[in-house]
Amino acid sequence: MAINWYPGHMHKAQREIRKILGEIDLFIEVLDARIPYSSENPMIANIRGDKPCIKILNKSDLADPQITADWLAHFKQTKNTDAIAVTAKTPSTLKDIIALCKSMAPNRGEPGKPVRALIAGIPNVGKSTTINILANRIIAKTGNEPAVTKAQQRINIGDGVILYDTPGMLWPKVENENSGYRLAITGAIKETAFDLDDIATYALDYLMQAYPEQLKARYQLEALAENGYETLELIGKKRGCLRAGGRVEMNKAAKIVLTELRDMQIEAISMETPEMCIAEQDEVEARLAEKAQKQAERKKKFKQKRNG
């Protein structure tokens, strides 16, 4: 199932970033530590070119710490890129970002020459909360729903750093179907854009493989079913999500699973690893290459037919 959500203000934000690109010294991209690959916007990589980039793995308290360490090492292997794991629950870790900005823009950060950093991220990733902590005051609106910030802001956070804030941005088409599901699971896409039971089933299929004991403990299940859908039914029965006749109300059960997953009531988990996503990216690229080849062949045949 393809999941895409790209409101008009996101397209506008992308255009505005391109306009101010010459003023920017470095990019800060806020990622969800549970899904660093799926929350990484490919448009940002395209726009920033060779400019330095800091990847902030936010909500790291919700993620598997070992997998987060793997992701930090993965990002630091990329040219002109550094990475740091943070959480709003420990604001002191966020202050390290200021020092990191100065180290990655060594010719800036002095009086009259502040570091000009553009901060971006997908909806509901915690970007606005991060800005407020860095600035020591409420500047950016925050909320539990995606797409709270809808206009660009220029913020002087002191210590020789100016942030250019942008609305949370997705991209027009999520080519990796797995990423679409993960974005929905973690709350980056509004729930009106997908079916809850479909998303919860995907999440449970993954958790059954990666975190089976945590799943059984949370929902007091002696054993898991053969697949995510049947496990969702078991959870629905346990939580009393029943209609007349004893049938499970799957949408209600799905809401419980997704809410508790987002609130870390199923312990700290990560939904993807670097190795997993490298393999998925290879599959996506192979599929797109095959699609492009077929389109080229169709155009060639059409041209030959037209020219007789």
pLDDT digits (tens, 9 = 90+) for 172-211: 677 888 998 999 999 888 776 778 999 999 999 999 999 9
Query: Is residue 41 assigned to a domain?
Result: yes
Domain that holds residue 58: 14-165
- For the ranges 20-34, 134-148, 192-206, the lowest mean pLDDT is seen at 134-148
What CATH number is associated with residue 154? 3.40.50.300
Q: How confident is the model at residue 5 (pLDDT cuts 50, 70, 90)?
A: low
Residue 141 has pLDDT above 70, yes or no: no
Residue tagged 């799905």 (tokens): 254
Residue 149 is predicted with a pLDDT of 46
Rounded Cα distance between 215 and 237, Å, is: 15
Residue 252 has pLDDT above 90, yes or no: yes
Query: Is residue 75 assigned to a domain?
Result: yes
Rounded Cα distance between 154 and 60, Å, is: 26
Q: How confident is the model at residue 146 (pLDDT cuts 50, 70, 90)?
A: very low
Stronger pLDDT, 8 or 48, i.e. the higher one: 48
31, 145: one domain: yes
The model's pTM is: 0.84
Give the chain's domain count: 3
Phi and psi based region of residue 163 (left: phi greater than 0; alpha: psi -120 to 50; beta: remaining): beta
Q: Strands of 161-165's sheet, edge to edge? A: 81-85, 53-58, 26-32, 115-121, 161-165, 153-158
Query: Is residue 171 assigned to a domain?
Result: no
Query: Is residue 282 assigned to a domain?
Result: yes
pLDDT in tens, 48-79: 888 999 999 999 999 999 999 999 999 999 98
257, 213: one domain: yes
Residues in CB range of 67: below 8 A, 6 or more apart: 270, 273
